[in-house]
Amino acid sequence: MRTVVIILAFSLIFAVGAAQAGNVEKGKALFNDTSLGTNGKSCGSCHPGGGGLEKAGGKKEFNIMGKKQGSLEEAVNFCIKLALKGKPLKEDSQKMKDIVAYIRSLGKK
């Protein structure tokens, strides 16, 4: 009985951990999905295949169209608002984590 409880507890911890980490494949799909915005564009329309964002994962500060952004999440939301005319994502949402994981993966190739 006790082993079952321990195994269940570990599976739960593992499942929660997996849900919190960003998923690169899902992030890539979102990156190329026009549903993040309202103007028919996706991130990939301007950053095809993530091109040009290879260094973004390691940056602490961003300057996009003359505006400073203090984190990768802010930079992503800035592009969602301005470039896609969409609603910004919550910084701790799964979608944001997935997109950030995808962008960070670009620099590791």
Residues that bind ligand HEC (CB under 6 A): 36, 41, 43, 45-47, 52-53, 55-56, 59, 62, 64-65, 72, 75-76, 79-80, 83-84, 99, 103
Quote the CA–CA distance of 61 and 56 in Å, as a whole number: 9
44, 37 in Cβ contact below 8 A? no
Amino acid at residue number 38: T
What's the sign of the alpha-carbon dihedral 106, 108, 58, 30? positive
Minimal CB distance residue for ligand HEC: 43
Cβ nearer to ligand HEC, comparing 19 with 46: 46
Least Cβ distance, residue 16 to ligand HEC (angstroms): 26
Least Cβ distance, residue 62 to ligand HEC (angstroms): 4
